[in-house]
Chain A
Amino acid sequence: MRRVTKIAAAGMASAALILTTAACGESSTESGGKEKGVGLAFDVGGRDDHSFNESAARGVDKAKDELGVEAKLMTAKNNETEADREQRLSSLAEAGYNPVIGVGFSYGKSIEKVAKQFPDTTFGVVDSVSEGKNVDSMVFSEHEGSYLAGVAAALKSKSGKVGFIGGVNNALIQKFEAGFVQGAKDTKKDIEVVPEYLYPNNDKGFNDPGAAKAKAKGMLDRGIDVIYTAAGQSGAGSIEAVAAKKGAWAIGVDSDQYQQPGLAKYKDAILTSVVKNVDVAVFDLIKSVKDGKPLTGVNAYTLKEDGVSLATSGGFIDDLRKEIDAAKEKIAGGEITVDEQPKR
Chain B
Amino acid sequence: MSTAPPASGASGPAPAPGAPERQAPRGPRSAIDWGRVGLGLAAPLLAIVAALVITSLIFLSTGDDPFRAFAVMADYGVKSDSQIVIVNKAVPYFLSALAVAIGFRMNLFNIGVDGQYRIAAFFAAAVGGALALPGIVQIPVIMIVAMMVGAVWAGIAGLLKTTRGVSEVISTIMLNAIAAAVIGYFLQDGRLAVRDGNIIHTEPIPESAHFFEIPTGQAPVNGFLVVAVVVGVLYWFLLNRTRFGFDLRTVGRSESAAHAGGVGVGRMVVTSMLLSGAVAGLVGMPTLLGESYNYGTDFPAGIGFTGIAIALLGRNHPVGMALGALLWGFLERTGGRLEFEGYAQEIVGVMQGVIVLCVVVAYELVRRYGLRTQQRKVGERLAAEARNNGKTEKAEVSA
Contact between chains at B198 and A108 (CB < 8 Å): yes
Stretch in contact with the other chain, from A3-11, A74-82, A152-160: A74-82
Chain B residues positioned under 8 Å from A200 (CB to CB): 180-181, 183-185, 187
Stretch in contact with the other chain, from B48-56, B329-337, B366-374, B378-386: B329-337
Contact between chains at B197 and A171 (CB < 8 Å): yes
B56 to chain A, nearest CB (A): 14
List 25 A-B pairs, Cβ < 8 Å.
A20-B67, A20-B71, A21-B75, A27-B341, A28-B79, A72-B340, A74-B339, A74-B345, A77-B349, A79-B300, A80-B300, A81-B89, A82-B291, A82-B292, A88-B339, A91-B336, A91-B337, A105-B197, A105-B198, A108-B198, A169-B184, A170-B198, A171-B297, A201-B187, A202-B180
The residue in chain B whose Cβ has the minimal distance to the Cβ of A22 is: B71
Residues in chain B within 8 A of chain A (CB atoms):
67-68, 71-72, 74-76, 79, 85, 88-89, 180-181, 183-185, 187, 189, 195, 197-200, 287, 291-292, 297-298, 300-303, 332-333, 336-337, 339-341, 345, 349
Distance in angstroms between the alpha carbons of A92 and B303 in the assembled complex: 26
Contact between chains at B198 and A128 (CB < 8 Å): yes
Take A74-B340, A170-B198 as given contacts and tell me if A28 and B180 are in contact as well, using a CB distance cutoff of 8 Å.
no
Distance in angstroms between the alpha carbons of A236 and B349 in the assembled complex: 24
Chain B residues positioned under 8 Å from A80 (CB to CB): 300
Distance in angstroms between the alpha carbons of A95 and B341 in the assembled complex: 11
Distance in angstroms between the alpha carbons of A341 and B188 in the assembled complex: 11
The residue in chain A whose Cβ has the minimal distance to the Cβ of B182 is: A200
Would you list the 8 A-B pairs with minimal beta carbon distance, nearest first? A200-B184, A24-B75, A79-B302, A105-B198, A172-B198, A24-B71, A81-B300, A171-B198
Does chain B have a CB within 8 A of A1? no
Contact between chains at B300 and A88 (CB < 8 Å): no
Chain B residues positioned under 8 Å from A20 (CB to CB): 67, 71
Contact between chains at A170 and B333 (CB < 8 Å): no
Using an 8 Å CB-CB cutoff, how does the interface string of A80-99 with B read, 1 for contact, 0 for none?
A: 11111001100110010000
Chain B residues positioned under 8 Å from A105 (CB to CB): 197-199
Using an 8 Å CB-CB cutoff, how does the interface string of A54-73 with B read, 1 for contact, 0 for none?
A: 00000000000000000010
Does chain B have a CB within 8 A of A199? yes
Take A82-B291, A91-B337 as given contacts and tell me if A170 and B297 are in contact as well, using a CB distance cutoff of 8 Å.
yes
Distance in angstroms between the alpha carbons of A70 and B180 in the assembled complex: 41
Report which of A81, A84, A87, A108 forms a contact with B199, defined as CB distance below 8 A: A108
A113 to chain B, nearest CB (A): 11
Does chain B have a CB within 8 A of A23? yes
Report which of B180, B189, B199, B302 forms a contact with A199, defined as CB distance below 8 A: B180
Distance in angstroms between the alpha carbons of A203 and B162 in the assembled complex: 35
Does chain B have a CB within 8 A of A115? no
Chain B residues positioned under 8 Å from A202 (CB to CB): 180, 301
Contact between chains at A341 and B189 (CB < 8 Å): yes
Does chain B have a CB within 8 A of A138? no
Report which of A83, A92, A109 forms a contact with B85, defined as CB distance below 8 A: A83
A281 to chain B, nearest CB (A): 16
A26 to chain B, nearest CB (A): 10
Contact between chains at A87 and B333 (CB < 8 Å): yes
Distance in angstroms between the alpha carbons of A91 and B341 in the assembled complex: 11
Distance in angstroms between the alpha carbons of A127 and B297 in the assembled complex: 15
Take A77-B345, A202-B180 as given contacts and tell me if A108 and B197 are in contact as well, using a CB distance cutoff of 8 Å.
yes
B353 to chain A, nearest CB (A): 14
Does chain B have a CB within 8 A of A25? yes
Chain B residues positioned under 8 Å from A21 (CB to CB): 71, 75
A300 to chain B, nearest CB (A): 13
Chain A residues positioned under 8 Å from B300 (CB to CB): 79-81
B224 to chain A, nearest CB (A): 14
Report which of B291, B303, B345 forms a contact with A75, defined as CB distance below 8 A: B345
Take A23-B71, A74-B340 as given contacts and tell me if A79 and B199 are in contact as well, using a CB distance cutoff of 8 Å.
no
The residue in chain B whose Cβ has the minimal distance to the Cβ of A169 is: B184
Report which of B187, B298, B345 forms a contact with A106, defined as CB distance below 8 A: B298
Distance in angstroms between the alpha carbons of A88 and B199 in the assembled complex: 20
Does chain B have a CB within 8 A of A129? yes
Chain A residues positioned under 8 Å from B74 (CB to CB): 24
The residue in chain B whose Cβ has the minimal distance to the Cβ of A173 is: B198
Contact between chains at A168 and B332 (CB < 8 Å): no
B88 to chain A, nearest CB (A): 7
Known contacts A79-B301, A170-B200; 14 additional CB pairs below 8 A are: A21-B75, A24-B75, A74-B339, A74-B345, A75-B339, A88-B340, A108-B199, A128-B197, A129-B197, A168-B297, A169-B184, A199-B180, A200-B185, A341-B189
Distance in angstroms between the alpha carbons of A294 and B361 in the assembled complex: 56
Contact between chains at A78 and B337 (CB < 8 Å): no
Contact between chains at A171 and B189 (CB < 8 Å): yes
Chain A residues positioned under 8 Å from B195 (CB to CB): 171
B395 to chain A, nearest CB (A): 50
Using an 8 Å CB-CB cutoff, how does the interface string of A154-197 with B read, 1 for contact, 0 for none?
A: 00000000000000111110000000000000000000000000
Distance in angstroms between the alpha carbons of A75 and B348 in the assembled complex: 14
Distance in angstroms between the alpha carbons of A87 and B345 in the assembled complex: 14
Distance in angstroms between the alpha carbons of A193 and B291 in the assembled complex: 40
Contact between chains at B199 and A171 (CB < 8 Å): yes
Contact between chains at B297 and A28 (CB < 8 Å): no
Distance in angstroms between the alpha carbons of A83 and B71 in the assembled complex: 22
Contact between chains at A201 and B183 (CB < 8 Å): yes
Distance in angstroms between the alpha carbons of A116 and B183 in the assembled complex: 33
Contact between chains at B291 and A201 (CB < 8 Å): no
Chain B residues positioned under 8 Å from A108 (CB to CB): 197-199
Chain B residues positioned under 8 Å from A27 (CB to CB): 71-72, 75, 341
Chain A residues positioned under 8 Å from B187 (CB to CB): 200-201
The residue in chain B whose Cβ has the minimal distance to the Cβ of A39 is: B340
Distance in angstroms between the alpha carbons of A79 and B117 in the assembled complex: 14
B252 to chain A, nearest CB (A): 30
A198 to chain B, nearest CB (A): 11
A254 to chain B, nearest CB (A): 15
Contact between chains at B337 and A201 (CB < 8 Å): no
B126 to chain A, nearest CB (A): 14
The residue in chain A whose Cβ has the minimal distance to the Cβ of B92 is: A81
Take A168-B297, A171-B197 as given contacts and tell me if A87 and B85 are in contact as well, using a CB distance cutoff of 8 Å.
yes
A181 to chain B, nearest CB (A): 17
B95 to chain A, nearest CB (A): 15
